Amino acid sequence: MLAIVGRLSAYVPLSSLASRSTACLDAQHFDSTVAHYSFAAFDGGAQPSRVGGRTIRSAKLVVSQPCVLFPKLNPRIPRIWNITSLPSEMALASTEFVVLRPVGVDTSALWAALRQPDVLAELRQLVGGMTGSRQRIQPTQLLRVWVRDVRRLTPGHAAAIANLGALCNERRIESARLASCRDALLPLLMSGIDGLPAGR
């Protein structure tokens, strides 16, 4: 995906390709179970954490449609999250993310435009004078950054990028499901307990 977008020569401000969503929800309005998009969840496999709504004490951003999450904190670490589809649970994101809704393009194309090395280098320069936890980019700065104009992708390339992004997300979901099954079965196997369901 990155290579295809990297061949584009035209640039536009990010604001031409995405709008920022600031919809927020207080903790008392969370469902009993939520899908939480956090830095820890991204680092742990890029799948939202399913947690009890009452375990979260602070307000969160609402993720109501496919989007791209961009980290405000320490943009030198590329925690750019391509959300191609939503989970069945209420979806919430840490306020340390900027929620970017694509305008006229697929989320995967928007993700690939942001993930380009030259864009990441520019973002690092914007916070270069800050240190440690103070390395924070403002949403207005982010939306002014110039990225490749993915609207110029051929229909074939645009479809290929969208399909690849969706496939990557499906594979991560499947990997998480298999890991959960492994973690549930392994203690039983190690303890030598009989009676595991046959044919599974």
Domain boundaries, the chain: 2-187
Amino acid code (one letter) for 65: Q
Least confident segment among 92-106, 114-128, 165-179: 165-179
pLDDT for 149 equals 99
Structurally, at CATH architecture level, domain 2-187 sits in Alpha-Beta Complex (3.90)
Confidence of residue 197 (pLDDT cuts 50, 70, 90): low
pLDDT over 70, % of the chain: 90
Exposure pattern of 122-148 as b/e (b: 16+ CB <10 Å)? ebeebbeeeeeeebebeeeebbebebb
179's tokens: 């890991």
pTM: predicted TM-score of the whole model, two decimal places: 0.86
CA torsion sign for 156, 161, 165, 171 is positive
Average pLDDT over residues 93-109: 98
